[in-house]
Structure 1
Amino acid sequence: MVATPQAAELAAVLAAAGASVEPEGSAGAEKLAVSGLPAARIGALAFDNGIRVDELATRTASLEAAFMELTADSVEYQAGQPR
Structure 2
Amino acid sequence: MIKNRESAARSRARKQAYTNELELELEQLRRENQMLIQREKDFINDRQAKAAQLAVPDRRSGRNTASSLQQKQQQQQRCRSAPPP
> Which structure has more helix as a fraction of its residues?
2
> Which structure has more strand as a fraction of its residues?
1
TM over 0.5: no
TM normalised by structure 1 equals 0.22
Higher relative contact order by CA 8 Å / sep ≥ 6: 1 or 2? 1
